[in-house]
C-alpha cells in the first residue's frame, strides 16, 4: 500500500561477530574502472564554507559546526574530507579573523588543532595553539568571520598503501541503472557478478558531467565493462544477531529513516524493507523505519513549487518526527506534494 509505514527494527541480541549481509542485487550496464592510489601529504581541505566555533573546557577543546550549511555539495565535501582524517591528526587553520559588528569583539582563531572526532557535520578537536581569543566569548558565529578560514591537514588516514578503485557509471544516478537505485551508501560493500571478493564503498559522488562515481577499497583488474551487464551485490556490515534473513527479491522501495534515542540521524532513499531493516542496530541503539514511495527531499519537476534546501530539510524532519512519534501504521508522504498537480514525471529513483 502506498505510503505504508513499517517498523523495520531487528529484534536481536548483542554479539561481537561481524558479518556482511547480502541485502540487495541488481544488474548494471555502463561501468568503467580505474585504479588509483592515495598518497599522504600536507593537504588543503578545499572547504569553502565557514563553521561556527564553540570553545569548551577552558578553551582546550573546540567544536566546528558545519551543520548550518544549506549547500548539499559543500556538506558532502566536508563529510568526505573529515572521514579521511585519522584521529589525533594535527591540522592548521589560517585566515580565521573574527569581528562581531554588534559587540565589536575581535579574535583571530588561526592556529593549530588536533582532530578527535567527526559526526553529522560537527568536527571535535583539541586546541594546541590560537593566535587570540576574545575574553569571555566561547561561541564564534560564522557570520562574523571576515574571510573563509583555510584548513590544512598534515596527513590523511594511512591508506596510501591500499589501492583504491574508481567505478564510474556512465548512465548517471538518475536512472534505474545506477548505484543510487540500489540504495548504496558509504560503508556498504559490493561484489561484482559471481566473484567472491567484497569491496568497501568509501565515497559516492556525481561528477560535473553527471556521471555517478564510487570509490572502493581494493583493486579490480578490469578496464571497461560499458557494454556488458554486471551483477552488483550490495552488502551491509552487521554485528547484531537477527532472526529473519533479508529478502533480496523485494521490489517495493521507499525512504529509510534512521533514529537514535528518538532523534532522526539519517534518511536514505531507494531502500527495500529488508535493506532498511539492516540499517538498524541494537548495539548502537539505532532504529530504522521505511515509508514506501517517498523521498528524503522533494523532487523537482517543471511545475514544482521552488523551495530552498532549508525548507525541504525542515519539511522532511517535521513530517518524519511527527509520524514516528505517533507510531501509526501509516505515514504521510515524506516528500510532501511533488508539484501543484499532485503528480510527477520523475521516478522514485531519480530527481529529474
- Distance (Å, whole) CA 241 – CA 250: 21
Specify the pLDDT at position 321.
53
Contacts with 336 (C-beta within 8 Å, 6 or more apart), sequence order: 298, 315, 319
Cβ-based neighbour number of residue 112 at 10 Å: 15
Specify the pLDDT at position 351.
44
> Domain segments of the chain: what residues?
1-15+247-352, 18-37+170-238, 43-153
Specify the pLDDT at position 156.
59
Sequence-distant contacts of 9-13: CB under 8 A, at least 24 apart: 9/277, 9/280, 9/287, 9/288, 9/289, 10/240, 10/242, 10/243, 10/244, 10/277, 10/278, 10/280, 10/282, 11/242, 11/243, 12/240, 12/241, 12/242, 12/243, 12/282, 13/240, 13/241, 13/282
Q: What burial letters (b/e) apply to 176-208, b meaning 16+ CB within 10 Å?
A: ebbbbbbbbbeebbbbbeeeeebbbbbbbebee
Specify the pLDDT at position 329.
42
Specify the pLDDT at position 102.
95
Question: For the whole model, what pTM was predicted?
Answer: 0.54
Please count the CA atoms within 13 angstroms of the CA of 347 that sit on its side-chain side: 13
Question: What is 225-278 written as a DSSP string?
Answer: ETTS-EEEEEEEEE-S--SS---TT----EEEEEEETTEEEEEEEEE-HHHHHT
Exposed/middle/buried for residue 302 (C-beta within 10 Å: 0-12, 13-18, 19+): exposed
DSSP SS3 for 35: strand
Specify the pLDDT at position 239.
81
Specify the pLDDT at position 22.
95
pLDDT tens sequence for the chain (352 residues): 345 445 555 544 444 567 899 999 999 999 999 887 654 445 566 677 889 999 999 999 999 998 865 666 666 778 878 887 888 888 899 999 999 999 999 999 999 999 999 888 889 999 999 999 999 999 999 999 999 898 888 665 544 445 788 999 999 999 999 999 999 999 999 999 877 889 999 989 988 888 999 999 888 877 678 888 999 999 998 888 787 899 999 999 999 999 988 888 899 999 999 999 999 988 888 899 999 988 887 544 333 333 444 444 545 555 555 555 544 444 333 333 333 333 333 344 444 4
- Distance (Å, whole) CA 260 – CA 246: 22
Specify the pLDDT at position 335.
36
Amino acid at each position: 500500500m502506498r505510503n505504508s509505514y513499517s517498523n523495520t527494527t531487528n529484534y536481536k541480541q548483542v554479539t561481537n561477530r561481524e558479518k556482511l549481509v547480502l541485502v540487495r542485487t541488481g544488474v548494471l550496464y555502463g561501468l568503467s574502472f580505474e585504479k588509483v592510489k592515495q598518497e599522504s601529504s600536507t593537504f588543503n581541505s578545499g572547504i569553502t564554507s565557514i563553521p561556527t566555533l564553540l570553545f569548551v573546557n577552558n578553551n582546550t577543546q573546540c567544536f566546528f559546526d558545519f551543520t548550518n550549511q544549506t549547500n548539499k555539495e559543500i556538506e558532502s565535501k566536508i563529510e568526505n574530507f573529515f572521514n579521511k582524517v585519522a584521529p589525533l591528526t594535527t591540522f592548521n587553520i589560517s585566515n580565521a579573523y573574527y569581528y562581531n559588528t554588534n559587540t565589536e569583539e575581535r579574535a583571530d582563531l588561526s592556529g593549530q588543532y588536533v582532530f578527535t572526532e567527526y559526526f553529522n557535520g560537527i568536527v571535535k578537536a583539541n586546541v594546541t595553539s590560537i593566535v587570540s581569543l576574545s575574553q569571555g566569548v566561547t561561541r564564534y558565529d560564522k557570520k562574523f568571520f571576515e574571510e573563509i578560514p583555510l584548513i590544512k591537514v598534515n596527513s590523511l588516514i594511512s591508506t596510501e598503501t591500499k589501492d583504491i578503485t574508481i567505478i564510474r557509471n556512465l548512465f548517471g544516478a538518475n536512472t534505474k541503472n545506477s548505484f543510487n537505485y540500489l540504495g548504496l551508501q558509504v560503508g556498504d560493500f559490493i561484489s561484482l557478478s559471481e566473484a567472491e571478493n567484497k569491496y568497501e564503498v568509501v565515497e559516492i559522488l556525481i561528477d560535473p558531467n553527471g556521471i555517478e562515481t564510487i570509490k572502493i577499497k581494493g583493486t579490480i583488474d578490469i578496464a571497461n565493462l560499458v557494454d556488458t551487464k554486471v551483477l552488483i551485490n550490495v552488502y551491509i556490515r552487521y554485528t547484531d544477531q537477527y532472526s529473519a534473513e533479508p529478502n533480496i527479491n523485494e521490489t517495493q522501495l521507499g525512504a529509510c529513516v534512521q533514529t537514535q534515542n528518538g532523534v532522526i540521524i539519517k534518511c536514505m532513499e531507494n531502500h527495500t524493507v529488508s535493506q532498511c531493516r539492516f540499517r538498524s542496530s541494537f548495539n548502537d541503539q539505532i532504529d530504522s523505519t521505511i515509508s514506501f514511495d517517498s523521498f528524503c527531499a522533494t523532487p523537482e519537476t517543471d511545475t514544482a513549487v521552488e523551495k530552498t534546501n532549508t525548507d525541504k530539510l525542515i519539511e522532511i524532519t517535521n513530517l518524519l518526527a511527527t509520524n514516528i512519534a505517533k507510531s501509526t501504521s501509516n505515514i504521510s508522504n515524506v516528500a510532501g506534494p511533488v508539484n501543484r498537480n499532485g503528480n510527477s514525471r520523475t521516478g522514485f529513483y531519480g530527481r529529474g
